[in-house]
């Protein structure tokens, strides 16, 4: 039987002024919220809106996501792009 998890979504509007602290804060908030939930029924999701704008930032704020990718087995990353070749599920 297919079951769909209840989802808590937090969006971060990326820009060329985005900082690693800002992005990290959103991930920390979601992780803290997720810890209090039944993981078989609930999932927290971070949406990085307009992520391409953050890629152009001198602050290089997206480097923070690599910390989460390599240090946590509880966080999954999916990139949904507008270019078919960049879309990963």
- Quote the pLDDT of residue 72: 57
- Quote the pLDDT of residue 40: 87
Q: Which residues in the chain come in under a pLDDT of 50?
A: 84-89
- Quote the pLDDT of residue 81: 58
CB under 8 Å to 18, separation ≥6 — which residues?
A: 12, 53, 54, 57, 59, 61
CA distances from 46 to 27, 30, 75 (A): 7, 7, 10
Q: What is the reported pTM?
A: 0.70
């Amino acid at each position: 039987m297919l079951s769909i998890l209840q989802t808590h979504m937090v969006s971060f509007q990326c820009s060329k002024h985005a900082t690693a602290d800002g992005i990290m804060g959103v991930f920390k908030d979601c992780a803290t919220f997720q810890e209090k939930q039944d993981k078989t029924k609930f999932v927290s999701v971070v949406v990085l809106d307009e992520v391409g704008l953050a890629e152009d930032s001198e602050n290089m704020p997206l480097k923070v996501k690599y910390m989460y990718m390599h240090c946590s087995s509880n966080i999954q990353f999916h990139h949904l792009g507008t270019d078919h070749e960049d879309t990963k599920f």
